[in-house]
Amino acid sequence: MIAFIVMFIMHIHTGFLRYSNMTDLVRVFGSVLLSSVIYLICVNLWLMPGNETTINFIVMVNVSISSMTLFIFRFAVKGLFVFIKNDSGAKKTRVLIYGSDAEALFIKHGLQRSVQAKFTIIGFIDDDYGKKNLELQGTKVYDLKSLEKLKRKYNVEKLIILNQDLDEKSKKIAIEKCLAFGIQVLTIPPTDQWLFGKLNFNQIKNLKIEDLLQRKPIQVELDHISRDLLGKRILITGAAGSIGSEIVNQVIRYKPSMVILCDQAETPLHYLSLQVAETFPNVVANIFIADVTNYDRMSKLFLDYRPEIIFHAAAYKHVPMMEENPTEAVHNNVLGTKNVADLAVSFDCEKFVMISTDKAVNPTNIMGASKRIAEIYIQSIKRIPGNNQVKTRFITTRFGNVLGSNGSVVPRFAEQIEKGGPLTVTHPEITRYFMTIPEAVQLVLEAATIGKGGEIFIFDMGEPVKIADLARNMIKLAGLQPDKDIKIVYTGLRPGEKLYEELLNDGESTLPTYHEKIRISKVITNNYNDVLIDIKELIALNNRNDILGVVKKMKSIVPEYISNNSTFGELDGAPCDNILSGLQASLDPPKRKTVRSA
């Protein structure tokens, strides 16, 4: 009766037996011990004085037997529940857990308790060889060298790893070994991000190529950026695009007085406005639908909002599309940039930051050449003869491909994998530089802060990546085998495409800045009047839809522009008069399938 009363008061009966843990066991032992002590006191004082030794021995035995019986009962119920749950007949996925610390144990418990998850935990993998062959709650710890053996012996299918600090060398080695042995990698968030303290099956994700390629977080001077943007009116052109929308998200965090979101794409801009209103309800965000090539419409924007800082991300960027539509590339990338830059000068804006590309370096295509001409123009503005009052600082940021941007290779490969392949790669040796969108925008904001005007800032893009290797890794990350489950097909270089991208033009060199990932290009200077004359001639040819004249003029403005794998390659180093008729015939719109860029 005493034990019953004590256990009732201590709520021993209220717990779920299948979820018993060490805290529950301590409570059970405490209740048994307390009831025994109370019983012992009562017996010694009132009921059976003189037999203390015998009574004490009996009570001690009772404490031991009662505690062990209750412990065994709870473990039996818990084990039975796990057995019934795991013996449901459904196929179990055999997994390893990376790590052997408290977080790894939480992951193990989370997987075992999840009703949705169907995993059999084979063991823990740790790079600390001192922990090899140890056991954590009955589950063995293995080292990285054991991965291949575990794959063969237990048919391990997946490795589960926390999706934080994936740039750590040990984690990258483990991931690379898993991909080599055909073990798929899954990521889950840290335990403090689990929903209601429990692992949700939907939080278990396939490792993405973006995770695999990410580098250490960039350290930026937050105070400098904050002082530069705080309380300012900021215009972002191309705000609904991949880079533009990330600029919006990051700029808003520095508390500008106003952001003006300008784009010609109605629906993406609408969604961006909803996102901004929901995430940053206290920010003044003005939506302005406009085409940067429409000078009068853009003048209306400047008159209404008087922006102080401009991030110019509006541009056409797809190389094959622009190779097919050179006049559109010039119209948008050159004229559009000129319009916004001229308005920035007219309205005495503090700063104009242009988002450029590594394809502007020794360009081999229309898109890269158009961006290089835009660079040349905005660099020359501070040297306007007879006008020493240009207050606007013009800054160019130049970087390579960003992971996950609209129309880029990564989402394209992801779509092809979903369809069962094949993955299309243009050339076995083609390589590109990659960085994540947030990383690129962080460096843009940092460069904008330190820029004095006229510079081109070059970002550290890390090591170039072979696109064929990228394709193979994405197939492996999906749990499939290249060339077996999904084939890789080489389609040949597209018009204007080159094998390797560069970050510096011929004759350019770089100077360091205080930020290790940002360098300043020592660019070739150009006279404003000469540049202005060239661009006016280019735009006039463009307005007449003189495609050959446009391309010839582009090559004149950018002498290092040599077409690659393109119809326009015949203009390089050959007597143009002899080939104009043939080229014009091949480019004549009625005889040529032209895809207009959106």
CA dist 546 → 322, 543, 587, 592 (Å): 15, 8, 10, 15
CA dihedral 411, 413, 414, 416 (to 10 degrees): 130
Beta strands per DSSP E along 351-391: 351-357
Give me the phi and psi of 581, to 5 degrees please: -65, -40
Among the listed residues 232, 359, 371, 553, the single catalytic one is: 359
In three-state form (DSSP H/G/I as H, E/B as E, the rest C), the secondary structure along 515-577 is: CCCEEEEECCCCCHHHHHHHHHHHHHHHHCCCHHHHHHHHHHHCCCCCCCCCHHHHHCCCCHH
The packing angle between helices 242-252 and 437-450, to 10°, is 60
What pairing do the DSSP bridges indicate for beta strands 285-289 and 258-263?
Answer: parallel
User: What whole-number distance in Å separates Cα of residue 389 and Cα of residue 542?
Assistant: 31
Sheet order of strands, 139-142 included: 135-136, 139-142, 119-125, 93-98, 158-162, 184-188, 205-206
Structure tokens at 124: 């823990």
The answer to whether residue 172 is catalytic is: no
In contact, 107 and 188? CB cutoff 8 Å:
yes
What pairing do the DSSP bridges indicate for beta strands 119-125 and 135-136?
Answer: unpaired
In contact, 558 and 526? CB cutoff 8 Å:
no
User: What whole-number distance in Å separates Cα of residue 129 and Cα of residue 144?
Assistant: 8
Query: Coil, strand, or helix at residue 5?
Result: helix
For every residue of 182-202, DSSP letters joined together read T-EEEEE--GGGSBTTB--GG
Catalytic sites, residue numbers:
359
